[in-house]
Structure 1
C-alpha cells in the first residue's frame, strides 16, 4: 500500500540493525534495501522487468551522466525519467558530486558550486547546489541527494574539514531549493573523511535541518573496510532514528552485511553489474571468476538453490565459454545472477532482523563464503580467484 506522502517506519530492530519500510506514491521500499545502479537510465545488461522481478523496489539514476546525455530538460520533455526508462517505481538520483570528482577532465570547486569539463566531449558545465536540485526535479526522481564535495581517502584533516563544511552549506542551499514536495524526499550527506569529530559535527548539523533522510558519503573511496565501519559506528548515534540511513556506493556483500549490522538501511553499488560484465559472480559460496580455466568442464550451475534462472540453469562451463568468447549473453546472465544474489542477500537480512536472529544468520552467510573459498583453494591449488575490473560506471 502506497501513500501520497514520504514516510519511513522501523518495524523491527535486532541490536543496532533494523528493518522497515519507506512508503511513497510510487511504491514501498523494504529496508535494508539494495538499489541497483541505473547510471544512464539503464541497469546495464538487464531489462527493467527483470530488475523488479528480482526484488528491487528502487533503482538509482545519476545526475551527472543524465545532465550530459541526453540532458535533463530533454528527459523532462519526454515525460520524466520513470517514463523514459520504463521504471514506474521509486527512483533515487545522486547529485553528481562524486562523478564530478572521479570523472570530470578538469574541475574547479568554490562556494558557488563546481565548474567542470565533460568526460564525454570536454564541454564546460557549471553545477550549483540549486542547479543539482533543479536537474533532479526535471528528471522527476523520488529521492534526491544534496550536492556535496566528496574527497578521496586518505586526505588531510584540513581537506576533510574544508569539504565537510562546504557540503553543509550546500546542504542548506539544497534544502531551500527543494522546498516542500509531498511524496518526495531530499537526503543530506554526512561528510568528514576519516575524522571522527568531523563526521559527528556533520551528522549533528544535518540532523538539525530536519531532512527526510540522511546518507553517509565519502566512504568506499579507497579506505580499508575497518575505517569505513568505524565511521559508520561513529555517526550512527547522531543520525535520527526515525529517518532512513543510506551508505552511498557500498558495496561488497561483506560490506553490506557489516553495515546492516550497524544500522544502515539503504545501499547502492555498481559492483554486481560491473563484475557481471567482467566475468565475476557473487553467490552464497562467495565470489568466482568465470574466466578461470577450472570452470571449463564444470557442469554445475552457479547455485542450484537460487530461484534465479541464470543461477540455477546454466552450467559454469557454458558461462565460462561465454565469458572467454566475450559473448553479450555471458554479461547478461552473470549480471542477472549477481543482482539476484544481492536481492536474496537483502531479503535474508530483512527476515533475520524481523525474527531476531541476525547474528546467527550472518554467521551462516560468512560460513558459506568461507566454505566456498576453502573448496576453491582445494580445486585450484590456492590460485587467486579475483581479477581487477576497470573503473567505468
Structure 2
C-alpha cells in the first residue's frame, strides 16, 4: 500500500515518488509546516494549489492542544483540518527539548511542563507512537533526542545512542500498520563516525524511510553541507531520505544536490508573516520604504495571487497597516515559490541538467532584487 520508487538520478540528486493510500508525493518534496493543524494564513485548498503533495503536523503542539484523543474522536487529523493528502507528523522530541520548561530526560523518555499552561506530561517512544496513531498521519517519525549544536562529542554520542534505543522501541510500538510508514532518524551531530554508527543501527532495525536529524540547529550552512556530503550515503538507496527542518532556498538546492528527497521548514510561512518574500532574485523585505510607490509585482514571472493581483506598493501598505491580508498574500507567494523551486529541481533531475539548474539558481540570486524605480 506504500512504496518508494526512484525514477531518475543526476549525480547524487534523485527523482522519485512515494506512493501512499492518500496520494503520491513527488520527490524531491518540500513539506509546508502545519504546526497546530493549520499552515498559518492559508486555507488547505490554497496550500494544495501551490503544488504541495504533503504537509507536516506537529505532535508536541497537537498533543497539548487540542489533544490527540480529541482529534481521533473527531475523525483524525486529515478530517479535522480538511486536508485529504498525505500528512507527516514529527515525533515531538525536538519541541520538547526546545520549547518546554523543567525537562527531565531519562531512559524512559522526557517528562516536561507544557509551554502553554505548565501542565505535566511524559513523552516516550511508545507515547509518541500512540499520539501519531491517534492523529492518523501517513508518515510517522521515530521518537528521538536532538541536542543543539555546538555540543561536545561525548554529549552527541550519548544522545545518538539513546535515540537509537528509542528508535528500536518506536519500531516495536509502531507495529504493523498497512498504509502507514515509519521513518527512523539518524543522529550524530557533525561527527562522521557517529553518523555512520547511527545509520547502521537504523538499518538493522529497519524503517520505511530515513531522516537526517540534528542539522539546521545552529551549525551553519557550510557545516551542514559538509555533513550532507557523506551522511545520506550511509542510508539505504531504496528508501526516502528526509532532511528535517530545512530550510532556505539555497539550503534546499544544496541538499537535493547531495541526495536528499524530502524537506520541511516553517520559513515560507513565518517569513510571510514578518514581511519577507522569497523570489528567484533572493529575499525581498516588503517593509522597506523603497516599495511604497512601486506598482510592480514581487516577481513578474510568478503566477501566485500576490504577484498576479497586487503591487509591491499595496503589499507594503497592508503590511505597514497591520492588515491580515499582508501575511496571507506573502505566505501564499512564498509557498508557491518553494513549490515552484521543487518542480524546477524535479524537472532538472529528470532531464539531466542539475548542474545548469544550480548555476542558474545562484546566478539569479546574485543579481539581487530589481532596481528601485
| Bin of the TM-score, shorter chain as denominator length | over 0.9
Residue equivalent to 1:183: 179
Report 1:8-157 matches (<5 A): 8-157=4-153
Q: Within the alignment, does 1:347 sit opposite 2:343 as a pair?
A: yes
How far apart, in 2, do the equivalents of 1:54 and 1:202 lie?
36
| 8 Å CA contact retained: 1:56, 1:343 | yes
Q: CA deviation at 1:196?
A: 1.2
The root-mean-square deviation of aligned C-alpha atoms, in Å, is 1.0
Residue equivalent to 1:321: 317
How far apart, in 1, do the equivalents of 2:176 and 2:49 lie?
32
Residue equivalent to 2:287: 291
Q: CA deviation at 1:312?
A: 2.8
**Count of residues in Structure 1 that have an aligned counterpart in Structure 2:** 373
**TM-score of the two chains, using structure 1 as the length reference:** 0.94
How far apart, in 2, do the equivalents of 1:192 and 1:217 lie?
8
| 8 Å CA contact retained: 1:250, 1:256 | yes
Which of 363, 370, 379 is 2:366 aligned to? 370
Which of 239, 243, 249 is 1:243 aligned to? 239
| 8 Å CA contact retained: 1:200, 1:234 | no
Q: Within the alignment, does 1:199 sit opposite 2:215 as a pair?
A: no
Q: CA deviation at 1:234?
A: 2.1
Q: Within the alignment, does 1:360 sit opposite 2:326 as a pair?
A: no
| 8 Å CA contact retained: 1:148, 1:189 | yes
How far apart, in 1, do the equivalents of 2:118 and 2:307 lie?
41
How far apart, in 2, do the equivalents of 1:106 and 1:346 lie?
40
> Per the alignment, in what secondary structure is the counterpart of residue 33 of structure 2?
coil
Q: CA deviation at 1:230?
A: 1.3
* Unpaired stretches in structure 2, ≥5 consecutive residues: none
> Per the alignment, in what secondary structure is the counterpart of residue 106 of structure 1?
strand
How far apart, in 1, do the equivalents of 2:18 and 2:78 lie?
18
How far apart, in 1, do the equivalents of 2:272 and 2:101 lie?
27
> Per the alignment, in what secondary structure is the counterpart of residue 254 of structure 1?
helix
Q: CA deviation at 1:226?
A: 1.0
Report 1:264-279 matches (<5 A): 264-279=260-275
* Unpaired stretches in structure 1, ≥5 consecutive residues: 381-393
How far apart, in 1, do the equivalents of 2:193 and 2:141 lie?
23
1:179-231 C-alpha deviation (Å, 9 max, x unpaired): 12111111000001111111111111112222100001111111110111111
Which of 317, 328, 331 is 1:335 aligned to? 331
1:7-53 C-alpha deviation (Å, 9 max, x unpaired): 00000000000110000100000000000000000000000000011
| 8 Å CA contact retained: 1:199, 1:234 | no
Q: CA deviation at 1:366?
A: 1.1
> Per the alignment, in what secondary structure is the counterpart of residue 34 of structure 2?
coil
| 8 Å CA contact retained: 1:302, 1:312 | no
1:333-385 C-alpha deviation (Å, 9 max, x unpaired): 00000000000000000000000001101111111111125x56xx59xxxxx
